Structures are given as C-alpha cells and as structure tokens.
Amino acid sequence: MYNTLHKTRRFATIRTIFAMMVREMITTFGRSPGGYIWAIVEPVAAIGLLSVVFSLAFRAPSLGTTFVLFYASAYLPFMLFMDVTGKVASAIRFSRPLMTYPVITFVDVILARFLLNVVTHLVVMVIVIAGVFAFYELPLDFDLVHIANAIGMASVLALGVGTVNCYLSTAFPVYERFWQVATRPLIIVSGLFFVFESVPSAFRDYLWWNPLYHITGEMRSGLYATYDATYVSPSFVYLIGFSTLALGLLILDRTYRDLINI
C-alpha cells in the first residue's frame, strides 16, 4: 500500500513539474515575437560585441586564436548562473496563485523553473559553440568531461544561491534590487576577460574565492586542449552550491506558506 501511494505521489510530482515547465515556456517565450530565437540571439550579440571591442585593443585573446570562442567559453556558463539564479529566485512570486493548490509545493515551482532554464541554456551553448567551431573551422579537440563539470558546477551553484534568494527576494522585495546592483561587478571579476594566470598575483588569492572563476576556468579547460586550469576546485563550488541549497530549502520549508500570502 505504501509503495503504491509513494509511486503515485512521485508520478504526480513529475507530472506537476512538467506541466509547470510547459506553462513557463508559453509564458516566457510563447508570447514574444521570435520566442526561443531571442534566447540564442542575445548571447550571440553580446559575445560578438565583446569580440569586436577587445579585438581592437588586443592582437590576440589570452587563449587560442579567436576572440569569439574565448569570450563564449566564459560568457555562456556565466549567464547560465546569472539567469537561472534569477529565475529560481522569483519562482514563488511567479507561481504564487498556483501554490494555493495543495498538490503544488515550493519544490515543484523551483525545480520547474530550474530545469527549464538550464535546458534552455544548454541548447544555446550547443548551438553557439558548435557554430563557432564550424565557422572558424577549429579542430574538434575538446574535453566533454570538463565541459559537463563546468555546466554542473554552474547549475548547482545557481540552484543553491537562487533558492536562498527565493526566500530573501519574496520576503523582502527590496532585496531583488540590491542583488542586481551587488552582482553587476561579477562580469569583471569572474574570468570573462582574462584567464586566472594573467591576473596580477596580488589579486589572485582574492579572486580564487569567487566560485564563478572556477566555473569559467573549468569550461575553458574543456574547450582548449592546451589549457590546464590547475586552480579550479570543483569541490569548493559544489560545497557552496549544495550548502546554500540546503539552507534555502530549510528556510522555505518553514516559511513558504506565509510567503504565498504576502
């Protein structure tokens, strides 16, 4: 009897998450001209702009021969973290009317937003990176293990930080604005423009504590066969990701019923 109820509940949860993913796809992409095309156009435009600007100032990127791949290798996982964190943080507010139904929990709404947006970024990554390799006729010499690990690190960190922010931004609406302002410098100190080794040694010890630098370094280790990011510590990033996730889930479990009535 218990096994039957457990399987029924698990199936209902999966079905609920899938239905909410479809709802968000329609809400986010289905109502705008171009829909999913903009999810591809935006990072391509940003990477193209960075490549043009920095190619005017430097003869060659810190790695490889093309500025486009150099910036894409860091910009794509960086934006995965930033975008997924924001989407998870607003999960309760986005689905507050649905959470009045007992069958839908805060875990369902968080997982639905998390899974949909991670998959979206994965599709964008594949299209953009494959396009760069094809357009510049680069040798297909990359390490899928490092690439997958970088994506995993970015995803877990985004889920953890986003879950904590889900409570903070829902309970204290001004926090969302604070987070947007506080994280703007991250684009400068997360390895998008320079590899870790080219940073003056006086600043490296400080930058090492930025988990995003580990993610961009790991991604470049996967895309550049000659680059070995020895400073990268996946355990450090996963520890932050899972710790913040546990903290966020614990707080939301005790407060989400009050949050949906705010």
Using CA of residue 112, residue 27, residue 76, residue 252, what is the dihedral sign? negative
pLDDT score of 6 more than 50: no
Please write the tens of the pLDDT for every residue from 31-42.
555 666 776 777
Interval 199-217 mean pLDDT = 93
pTM score of the predicted model: 0.89
Instruction: Tell me the C-alpha distance between 207 and 194, whole Å.
Output: 12
Opening angle at CA 181, ends 180 and 183, nearest 5: 70
Q: Say what the pLDDT of residue 114 is.
A: 95
Opening angle at CA 158, ends 152 and 162, nearest 5: 155
The type of residue at 225 is A
- Judging by beta carbons within 10 Å of its beta carbon (0-12, 13-18, 19+), is residue 27 exposed, middle or buried? exposed
pLDDT score of 254 more than 80: yes
Measured between alpha carbons, how far is residue 213 from residues 66, 90, 129, 224 in Å?
21, 25, 20, 16
Structure tokens at 50: 């960075």
Q: Which residue has the higher pLDDT, 44 or 175?
A: 175
Interval 190-202 mean pLDDT = 89
pLDDT score of 211 more than 90: yes
Instruction: Tell me the C-alpha distance between 40 and 249, whole Å.
Output: 32
Please write the tens of the pLDDT for every residue from 64-119.
788 889 999 999 999 999 999 999 999 999 888 888 777 788 999 999 999 999 99
Q: Say what the pLDDT of residue 25 is.
A: 78
Q: Which residue has the higher pLDDT, 5 or 110?
A: 110
Q: Say what the pLDDT of residue 138 is.
A: 86
Structure tokens at 151: 């994506």
Percent of the residues in the chain that have a pLDDT greater than 90, as a whole number: 52
Q: Say what the pLDDT of residue 63 is.
A: 85
Q: Which residue has the higher pLDDT, 226 or 245?
A: 245
Q: Which residue has the higher pLDDT, 240 or 39?
A: 240
- In this structure, are residues 71 and 145 in contact, taking their beta carbons and an 8 Å threshold? no
pLDDT score of 243 more than 90: yes
What are the boundaries of each domain within the chain?
A: 2-259
Structure tokens at 109: 């709404």
Interval 8-27 mean pLDDT = 71
